Amino acid sequence: MEKEERLKVISAKGLHYKELNDEIRKTFEEGYQHIKILDVNGQRYIGDGLTFPERALEVYGVPGNDLGVFMNGPTIEVFGNTQDGAGNTMNDGEIIIHGDVGDLMGYGMRGGRIFVKGSAGYRVGIHMKEYENKVPILVIGGKCGDFLGEYMAGGRIIVLGLNEQSDNIIGYFCGTGMHGGIIYVRGTVPDYKLSREIKILELDENDMKFLYEQLLDFSRYFNVKINELMAQVFYKLIPYNKRPYGRLYAY
pLDDT of amino acid 206: 97
pLDDT of amino acid 248: 60
Q: Give the N- to C-terminal CA distance of the chain in Å, as an integer.
A: 66
Q: Is 110 exposed, middle or buried (0-12, 13-18, 19+ CB in 10 A)?
A: buried
Which tens digits make up the pLDDT trace of 69-127? 999 989 999 999 999 999 999 999 999 999 999 999 999 999 999 999 999 999 999 99
Which residues does residue 232 pair with via DSSP β-bridges, in sequence order? none
Task: Tell me the C-alpha to C-alpha distance, in Å, between residue 191 and each of 148, 234, 237.
Answer: 14, 15, 11
The two most distant CA atoms of the chain are separated, in Å, by 66
pLDDT over 60 (residue 2): no
**Short-list 8, 53, 55, 68, CA closest to 35:** 8
Say how far apart CA 127 and CA 110 lie, in whole Å.
9
CATH number for domain 135-251, candidates 3.40.30.10, 3.40.50.150, 3.20.20.60, 2.160.20.60: 2.160.20.60
pLDDT of amino acid 4: 59
Which tens digits make up the pLDDT trace of 147-180? 999 999 999 999 999 988 777 899 999 999 999 9
pLDDT of amino acid 250: 55
Say how far apart CA 157 and CA 137 lie, in whole Å.
6
pLDDT of amino acid 5: 73
pLDDT of amino acid 163: 86
Helix (H) or strand (E) holding 211: helix 205-222
SS (H, E, C) 81-114: CECCCCCCCCCEEEEEECCCECCCCCCCCCCCEE
